Chain A
Amino acid sequence: MSPISLLSVLTEDLLVRVYTRLGSDSDRKTWRIVCKNFLRVDLVTRRSLRILRFEFLQRLLFKYTNLDSLDLSVCPRIEDGAISLLLSRPEWLNWTRCLTRLTLSGATGLRHSGLELLLRACPRLEAVDVSYCWGYGDMEASAISCAKGLRELRMDKCLGVTDVGLAKIAVGCGKLERLSLKWCMEISDLGVDLLCKKCLDLKSLDVSYLKLTSESLRSIASLPKLEVLAMSGCAFVDDVGLQFLENRCPLLQVIDISRCEFLTYSGLQSVARGHNGLLQLNAGCCLSRLPATVLHCLKDMKNLNTIRIDGARVSDSSLEIISSNCKSLVEIGLSKCVGVTDMGIMQLVSGCVDLKIVNLTCCRSITDAAISALAKSCWKLVCLKLESCDKVTEKSLNQLGSCCLGLEEIDLTDCSGVDDKGLKYLSGCSELLCLKLGLCTNISDKGLAYIACNCTRISELDLYRCTGIGDDGLAALTNGCKKLMKLNLSYCNGVTDRGMHYIGHLKELSDLEMRGLINITSVGLTAVAAGCKRLAELDLKHCERIDDSGFWALAYYSRNMRQINMSYCAVSDVGLCMVMGNLTRLQDAKLVHLTKVTVKGFELALRACSVRIRKLKLNSRLRLVLSSETLETLHARGCMFRWD
């Protein structure tokens, strides 16, 4: 330790340099606590803020004056009154000066007047995200059109927006470059036509699942700068529409026509013409046939790096054509494709050696021969999906574990050929981040231990219905995989409270699914709640032995809980009220078939959380017995109900 203080050596701008090199969020938070000078550096340098709790909103916005990005999507109680108060004094408004990005995804409590106030207060706003504000309509669209400098707008699932609202935005925000209208079901060809006439700078447009016809494509084709077009699930568009795109939109790089039922390969051929700069093509789940002539069109797309043709009928020769024509291919999607054989795959990987992402879900004819060839050829593999490929055995995993050392994600759901030996080989891929072993009944704690030892970076693990897994496997897991964030143990009936105790050691765990664990009691749940402080999503459906004492622990410890499924649990009035009342970040709750909770209990619980809850699932009989007052209050605050 030096007798000289760091503060006498480093001036503030040098401290800023050191701070910006910290990288991790937890280091930056630690920095703030060290001393006042360090805190000031953070206040001046931090550019983006994501607020978790409403109580801190005003104070933090007052302190951070150099923000360019603000995320309020997980902050409860964002509504018109609160925003109005926030913006009421000029001396509190420093943070609005530089703000360019505003995320209000899911902020269903905020309506058009609050939205307008907020957008008008931030003169430099360029990007706004109001996706999943399902109650938003034309009045909110009108508020958005006040942000004249807007370049990027996400309105996914704003179900009430119609052509009128879209027109206001098109006229008001002429500089729009990126727009997503996914699921905005009220929008029609008329709205899209006006949009394309007014917003000529559009580079990226998402109209997925809208009820558009081919007429919309006539309008979209006139956008000179379009680079990304997503129209997944547009059920009324046909090949005629794609013909409009032929030789138009010269800058097109990414196109998604997946799930468009009426498109055929001839539409795809039209898209290919005039678009040699295409980088990504997603034609999944819409083409039944893919003749060789169409695939030959891909030859001139020298930079094509992604092809998804999920669900199509292919043959060995199709894959051979792709192999010879698409040398830059990095990602290929052949999920549920009929006709994928070992020979086809071997042809494919001999030409496309740079493949990083390969999806062979439900390609049941694939055996070890194909996967071995893949592993040997494409050593850069990062993500491999083999769900339901039940002929794959430990031989494939041996090759993968020796050749594809950069593998980060592998999906072996329902691959009955995977056993403990296979997992031992697979553990050679020490960079693994996401491992799915759902329905793999032939693995046991022994296999899991190999993974736990060697794949220490794993953050997501799916052991759905892996009946061979028990407490010992979990012990090994918690010992080795300290970074685990997402775990699925649903229906792993061998797990008992002892196993839960081990789970409590996973400090980073934020998402836990444990449906149907009939051997778990409140003791087990308490251990998890007390240990996993970051738990945000929990699914306990059918854990019928967990009663109030477990839920008290949850209410006390799990302050970060955002989403919970307690259906079929043995909780009673008191337990439910404590959970719904104390967990102030809870926004989504499934409370089906809680036989021990009375109507009064539900009333109290719902009132306790009415200020912040956004989604509720309840038995439909409750719709008739709950007071209309409670239901209306909840609805007015933007809560969405699902009745079972």
Chain B
Amino acid sequence: MSSSSSPMQSTGRKLKLKSKDDETFEVEEAVAVKSQIFKYMVEDGVSNGPIPLPNVNGKTLARVLQWCQKHADPTITEDELNKYDAGFIDVDQAVLYDLLMAANYLNIEELLKLACMRVADMIKGKSPDEIRRTFNIKNDFTPEEEEEVRKENAWALGP
């Protein structure tokens, strides 16, 4: 949990962020520092003027900031947080990808973990074909190569 050294009061210090499609957001420092990128900026004192984020669109940035807000709230219990996360990440694939890329770009560890866990859950229990279809992945094995991998799975690798 990253936070500045001062306790969670409204210090009034806000960061201005500008998304790829020119939407601006104002967010409290204590919330923004969930992202390691912003944390360093705040620490280095380079947070004047709106920070441009050419890799994140407005809709996604809004979602991410909402998540950060919830996670920076000291009054929320762990149970409520878990419930919130479960609902937050239950989105369609396009949104999930946007969240993944944004969390990676902004270096928000907890959100990245949450999103990766969601992808893993979407993979569990599926067959290779189902996984390829769900995530639009091309099977680049030749039939012989795939056969070799299957053989290794069945006869060579133990649990």
Q: Contact: A6 with B155, CB < 8 Å?
A: no
Across the interface, B116 reaches (CB within 8 A) one of A5, A18, A30, namely A18
List of A residues within 8 angstroms of B94 by Cβ: 2, 4
Q: Contact: B93 with A18, CB < 8 Å?
A: no
Query: B106 → chain A, closest Cβ, in Å?
Result: 14
Q: Contact: A1 with B93, CB < 8 Å?
A: yes
Across the interface, A56 reaches (CB within 8 A) one of B120, B132, B140, B156, namely B156
List of A residues within 8 angstroms of B41 by Cβ: none
A302–B132 Cα gap in the complex (Å)? 56
Number of A interface residues at 8 Å Cβ cutoff, please give it.
Answer: 42
Query: A57 → chain B, closest Cβ, in Å?
Result: 8
Across the interface, B124 reaches (CB within 8 A) one of A1, A14, A27, namely A27
Residue of B nearest to A71 (CB): B158
Residue of B nearest to A21 (CB): B120
Residue B83 interfacial (CB < 8 Å): no
In the complex, per-residue mask of B125-151: 1 if CB is within 8 Å of any chain A CB, else 0 = 111100111111111110000100111
Interface centre among B93, B94, B133, B155 (most CB of A within 10 A): B155
List of A residues within 8 angstroms of B131 by Cβ: 30-31, 34
Number of B interface residues at 8 Å Cβ cutoff, please give it.
Answer: 41
Q: Contact: A56 with B152, CB < 8 Å?
A: yes
Residue of A nearest to B158 (CB): A50
A21–B117 Cα gap in the complex (Å)? 6
Residue A90 interfacial (CB < 8 Å): no
A10–B119 Cα gap in the complex (Å)? 10
Query: B144 → chain A, closest Cβ, in Å?
Result: 13
Residue B46 interfacial (CB < 8 Å): no
Residue A35 interfacial (CB < 8 Å): yes
Q: Contact: A17 with B132, CB < 8 Å?
A: no
Tell me if B's interface is mostly helix, strand, loop or mixed. helix
List of B residues within 8 angstroms of A9 by Cβ: 97, 100-101
List of A residues within 8 angstroms of B55 by Cβ: none
List of B residues within 8 angstroms of A59 by Cβ: 152
Query: B145 → chain A, closest Cβ, in Å?
Result: 8
Query: B64 → chain A, closest Cβ, in Å?
Result: 15
Q: Contact: B124 with A23, CB < 8 Å?
A: yes
Residue A636 interfacial (CB < 8 Å): no
Residue B157 interfacial (CB < 8 Å): yes
List of A residues within 8 angstroms of B132 by Cβ: 34-35
Residue B159 interfacial (CB < 8 Å): yes
Residue A53 interfacial (CB < 8 Å): yes
Residue B4 interfacial (CB < 8 Å): no
For residues 46 through 60 of chain A, which have their beta carbon under 8 Å from a beta carbon of chain B?
49-53, 55-56, 59-60
Residue of B nearest to A3 (CB): B136
Chain B contact residues, CB within 8 Å of chain A: 92-94, 97, 100-101, 104, 112-113, 116-117, 119-120, 123-128, 131-141, 146, 149-153, 155-159
